[in-house]
Amino acid sequence: MTVPRARPLLGDTRRTWAGLTLAACVLVVVVTGLLFRGKTGPDGFDNAIDSPVIALLRTHGGLLPWLALPGTPIPAIAVSAAIAAGCLIAKRLTGAVLAVAAVPAATGLTDGLLKHLFHRTYLGVLSFPSGHTTSVTGMTATLALLLLVPPQRARTVAVRAAVVGTACLLTVMVVIGVIGLRWHYFTDTVAGAAVGVGTVLGLALLLDLAADAINRRHVGPPRSTGSSQDPGPAAHSSVTSAIEDR
């Protein structure tokens, strides 16, 4: 009996840009963190962006918690579990591991280390980077990597793009919500987004290295990509099918 080959998330040709993007995310977090370390208020740039948002939404206070909701733990866990389940159905173990690990790793890095390291506060509460933005960006980056990174089937491109576009819209909503609630400055959300994206790419690179190690020990032929592996039309009617198209 042959062991199925592990399917990489990025592949050799995309690891370079993933590494460069990861380095850029680290640079954003470190530079902005050092600039605002120990600060208790916004700078001019934050004021220019935050003040209009706060003023515009001041009379819509009941809406703001709903805008921030996608960045809270329960939705993050639910979406991550759904992505992982889709990957397992599609027999993409590395994708399932990424979905399960990405948000906890990113938020753990933000809340457990970076907030205490840089100690920037908003109304006396640690705010840098934004944990809400970290969480929702981690989910969005995971979906984008699984659904948009080639190879993909052309017939599901609209569905995949719609899913990722919806996730991007939710990310923007969370940013607006946490600024309007006066939980975070805009630069907190920028750093949170960098942590989310960087964590997903870092995990993807590590999982691809693990996949390479498994494949080097693989003694059977690569799995066929022909019609015998096609799950049929019903499997292409959901996000699960879009993940399987990789």
**pLDDT range class, residue 5, cuts 50, 70, 90:** low
CA dihedral (230, 234, 235, 238) positive or negative:
positive
Distance CA 244, CA 231 (A): 9
Contacts with 31 (C-beta within 8 Å, 6 or more apart), sequence order: none
Nearest to 211 by CA among 104, 97, 106, 100: 97
Q: How many CB atoms lie within 10 A of CB 143?
A: 23
Which DSSP letter does residue 121 get?
E
pTM (predicted TM-score): 0.84
Percent of the chain with pLDDT over 70: 86
Dihedral over alpha carbons 13, 19, 22, 26 (to 10 degrees): -170
pLDDT digits (tens, 9 = 90+) for 85-130: 999 998 889 999 999 999 999 999 999 999 999 999 999 999 999 9
Mean model confidence pLDDT for the chain: 86
pLDDT in tens, 136-166: 999 999 999 999 987 777 788 899 999 999 9
